[in-house]
Structure 1
Amino acid sequence: MSGATLGTIGIIVLLALLILRIPVAFAMFLVGFIGIWMLNGWSAATGLLASETFTLASNPELVIIPLFILMGNVATVTGMSRQLYDAAYASIGQVRGGLASATVIGCGGFAALSGSSVASALTMGKVSLAEMDRFSYDPRLSTGVVAAGGTLGILIPPSTGFVIYAILTEQSIGRLFLAGVLPGILLLSAFLTTIALMCWWRSDMGPAGPSTSAAEKARALRGALPILVVILMTIGGIYTGLFSPVEAAGVGAALVILYGFVTRSLGPVALWRAARESIVTTATVMLILIAAHLINPFLALSHIPSAVGAALDALALGTIGTLVAILLVYLVLGCFLEGFAMLVLTLPIFFPVILELGIDPIWFGVLVVLTLEMGLISPPVGINVFIVKSVAPNVPLGDIFRGVLPFWFAMLVTLAILIALPQISLILPDTMFG
């Protein structure tokens, strides 16, 4: 059996295991280990398993993952996410669709603390859905905006998706974080525009909320000040070169813990619970990364990446045409696969093609992560949709999917803009590292 045939069988088996809901890491371990065993022998498979596990686990850059996850968990416990929503609520809640817009802004701010789309959707769903229901918002808008707003967590830095992309492609985490800032703001603006258009078209979708006095606005904005300080310290520190990404993660986690102790909103039990949840999430990510370092050599030995590259060359689509074709594959896979699984499965195949075409890998990383975000709200998997369903059990799943559809198209427009104008993604990392 040729390597290409075995590689194709391995990919089909891996997809079948994922469809059967086998955990991503275990599915990749199984296919990668058996594939290397069949191609290079038992000694090569066991040796690679031992060496790659130790090498990856001892990578100091990976400390960034538990620190940023801890920062997001502590921010949730201390109520910082609620304060951010309250500030946006007080500022724009009184306009038509204002509560939905406040939810998007809250998701964007919380994304800059947690780096997790699921955490953003879950946290802001608990905070905002009851308020929008109280003011008779259309359930399709209220649930759709939470599911879509949560996707900002994987694009606005710190982003776990960027960290995994950086590890798998050996790119700079700092450059990727900075590359996600302006696209994240652009996407947030696109969501706000979508809400405004929906409420202009149908005023009953998002009635105006209560007006607030200047004193109430000032008080709410003061409450959001700690979050803004943490965001400026972490992202600003990376941009100015004051911190490395790992140091920025440590500073951010320390600041939110200090805030919790000073305000007495964080006790030892709550800190322990947040730390334990962070460890569990980190262990899951680490297992996926270790498994990736088994599946990648298997795909390389089977020559699948070179075969895909030759096939794309034969189509003669040109650089942009090939890039769009690759992103279309991500869009389709996003309807069935979880985002991290897609990264691990596809990057070994597509990344060599991207390098050969001369496409900037940082720009490509932003486009891929945005495409993964679209998968988070695409049927039938749509993880964020199911997260919102768990918070709003009385809203039919079909209504939530219909609610996210306008935001899905807003993401598609944003993706097209970023393809047409790569400078939006590259200007910040180029000014820092150029």
Structure 2
Amino acid sequence: MDNTAIAFLGFLALFILLFIRMPVGVTMMLVGTVGIYFIRPQAAIPKLAGEIYNEASNYPLTIIPLFVLMGNLAGVSGMSRDLYDAAHSWLGHLKGGLASATVVGCAGFSALSGSSLAAALTMGRVSLPEMQRYKYHDGLATGSIAAGGTLGILIPPSAGFVIYAILTEESIGRLFMAGVIPGLLLTALFILAIWIVVSRNPEKAPGGAAAEPLRDRLRAAGRAGWIVGIIVLTIGGIYTGVFSAVEAAGIGAFLALIVTAIRRKLTWANIVEVFSSTLKSSGTVFMILFGAFVFKTFIGFTGITYALSLWVDAQGFTGFQVVIAFLAIFIVLGMFMDGFAILVLTVPLVQPIIEPLGINMVWFGVLMVIALEMGLISPPVGVNVFVVKGIAPNVSLNTIFRGIWPFWFAMLAAIILVLAFPQLALLLPNTMFG
């Protein structure tokens, strides 16, 4: 059996095991190890052990548990609630303002946690009851939460960017900076989508909070000063070069711990909840990375990426055409697979094909993450939709999925804009790093 046939059987086995819901990391580790055994039997166990050790001892990966810890501390300390209250105070009286405040709150929380699921769950718990109180349509309310939560893997610090950086050997700092402007752009497009929906169907947002006096708005903004300060310090520190992305994560987590203690929320129950949640989330990500690198080694042994790059070159496709084709594939895959699974499965295949065509991998990373965001809310396996369903048990899945479409098209518009204007993604990293 030649290596190409082994590669094909490996991917077939991988998709079958994922279809029957075997964990992604375990699946890739198993298929990768067995595949390496068929090609080089003596290398299978050493490669398995070596890749696990290399990633477990990879210093930049400490950024993941640190940012997860920071986000969890923001939740138990009440900083996430303060952030939503500030957005509610400034936007709640506008047309569709409560939904817009939810999106802004998710964007702010994303800049602290780096997790789309955490953003949707945390902000959904505080914003959904408020929108239901003012008789917002269930589709608009839940759709804004599910879509706003996806900003967690685009706005830095992003766990998606960290994994992409490790897989492609790109700079985490450059990728973080590349996500800032597209993240703000997508937040604005979400708010625009809400305004269009409410303008066409005012009954979807029939009520809103009364406009608050400027003094109360400033007071609400002041209460959110803790979380805003931590965000500005960590992201600003990376941009100005005062500290690295890993150091920013450590400083941010430490400051979040101090704020939690100042607010007298550092109880034993909260400590257990925060650290156990951090360990579980980080362990899941690390297991996926272990499997990804074992599987990446298997793909390298088969030589299929080199064959694919030769085929693309023979067809005469331009780099831009290949990028568009891959983005379309990611969007379709997102309807059936988890975003992290797509990321770790496809990057080892895609990078050797597009990099020789002159494609900037930082720019492509931003495009890929936005495409994966679309998968987080796309039927039938939109993970964020099921998270929102958990906090809105009385709302049907069909209603939630109907409510996400305006935001899905907003994401598509963001991809088109970043494709047309690459500087939206490259301006900040180029300004910072040259």
TM over 0.5: yes
The AA in structure 1 aligned to 2:311 is A
Which residue in the other structure is 2:180 paired with?
181
- Is residue 93–residue 208 contact of structure 1 (8 Å, CA) maintained in 2? no
Mapping for residues 382-393 of structure 1, pairs under 5 Å = 382-393=382-393
Q: Secondary structure at the match of 1:355?
A: helix
- Is residue 18–residue 27 contact of structure 2 (8 Å, CA) maintained in 1? yes
Shift of 1:307: 2.6
- Is residue 84–residue 109 contact of structure 1 (8 Å, CA) maintained in 2? yes
- Is residue 29–residue 294 contact of structure 1 (8 Å, CA) maintained in 2? yes
Shift of 1:35: 0.1
- Is residue 136–residue 207 contact of structure 1 (8 Å, CA) maintained in 2? yes
The AA in structure 2 aligned to 1:90 is S
Which residue in the other structure is 2:352 paired with?
352
Which residue in the other structure is 2:214 paired with?
214
Which residue in the other structure is 1:332 paired with?
332
Q: Secondary structure at the match of 2:219?
A: helix
Shift of 1:149: 0.4
Which residue in the other structure is 1:143 paired with?
142
Which residue in the other structure is 2:402 paired with?
402
- Is residue 330–residue 342 contact of structure 1 (8 Å, CA) maintained in 2? yes
* Whole-angstrom CA distance in 2 between matches of 1:224 and 1:333: 38
* Deviations 1:238-284 (CA, angstroms, capped at 9, x unpaired): 00001100100001001111011112122233123201110111111
- Is residue 96–residue 206 contact of structure 1 (8 Å, CA) maintained in 2? yes
Q: Which runs of 5+ in 1 are unaligned?
A: none
Q: Does 1:110 align with 2:109?
A: yes
* Whole-angstrom CA distance in 1 between matches of 2:173 and 2:15: 32
Change (3 A) 1:180 1:167: same
- Is residue 239–residue 432 contact of structure 2 (8 Å, CA) maintained in 1? yes
Instruction: Give TM-score scaled by structure 2 length.
Output: 0.98
Which residue in the other structure is 1:243 paired with?
243
Mapping for residues 33-432 of structure 1, pairs under 5 Å = 33-41=33-41, 43-211=42-210, 212-432=212-432
The AA in structure 2 aligned to 1:396 is S
* Whole-angstrom CA distance in 2 between matches of 1:348 and 1:178: 23
The AA in structure 1 aligned to 2:334 is G
Mapping for residues 6-21 of structure 1, pairs under 5 Å = 6-21=6-21
* Deviations 1:285-325 (CA, angstroms, capped at 9, x unpaired): 11111111110111111122123223333443322111100
- Is residue 153–residue 159 contact of structure 2 (8 Å, CA) maintained in 1? yes
* Whole-angstrom CA distance in 1 between matches of 2:47 and 2:300: 14
* Whole-angstrom CA distance in 2 between matches of 1:120 and 1:219: 24
The AA in structure 2 aligned to 1:381 is V
* Whole-angstrom CA distance in 1 between matches of 2:138 and 2:308: 44
Q: Which runs of 5+ in 2 are unaligned?
A: none
Shift of 1:49: 1.1
* Worse-matched range after superposition: 299-308 or 3-12: 299-308
* Whole-angstrom CA distance in 1 between matches of 2:232 and 2:302: 46
Instruction: Give TM-score scaled by structure 1 length.
Output: 0.98
- Is residue 8–residue 304 contact of structure 1 (8 Å, CA) maintained in 2? no
* Deviations 1:308-349 (CA, angstroms, capped at 9, x unpaired): 223333443322111100111111111111111111111111
Shift of 1:202: 1.0
* Whole-angstrom CA distance in 2 between matches of 1:308 and 1:114: 37
* Whole-angstrom CA distance in 2 between matches of 1:94 and 1:314: 58
* Deviations 1:373-415 (CA, angstroms, capped at 9, x unpaired): 1100011110000111111111110111110011000000100
* Whole-angstrom CA distance in 1 between matches of 2:313 and 2:346: 18
The AA in structure 2 aligned to 1:374 is M
Q: Secondary structure at the match of 1:376?
A: helix
Shift of 1:214: 2.2
Shift of 1:19: 1.1
- Is residue 136–residue 207 contact of structure 2 (8 Å, CA) maintained in 1? no
Q: Secondary structure at the match of 1:204?
A: helix
* Whole-angstrom CA distance in 1 between matches of 2:124 and 2:45: 45
The AA in structure 2 aligned to 1:377 is I
Q: How many residue pairs get matched? A: 433
* Whole-angstrom CA distance in 2 between matches of 1:86 and 1:240: 30
Shift of 1:125: 1.0
- Is residue 150–residue 376 contact of structure 2 (8 Å, CA) maintained in 1? yes
* Whole-angstrom CA distance in 2 between matches of 1:152 and 1:66: 19
* Worse-matched range after superposition: 59-68 or 308-317: 308-317
The AA in structure 2 aligned to 1:209 is G
The AA in structure 2 aligned to 1:398 is N
- Is residue 95–residue 208 contact of structure 1 (8 Å, CA) maintained in 2? no
The AA in structure 2 aligned to 1:379 is P
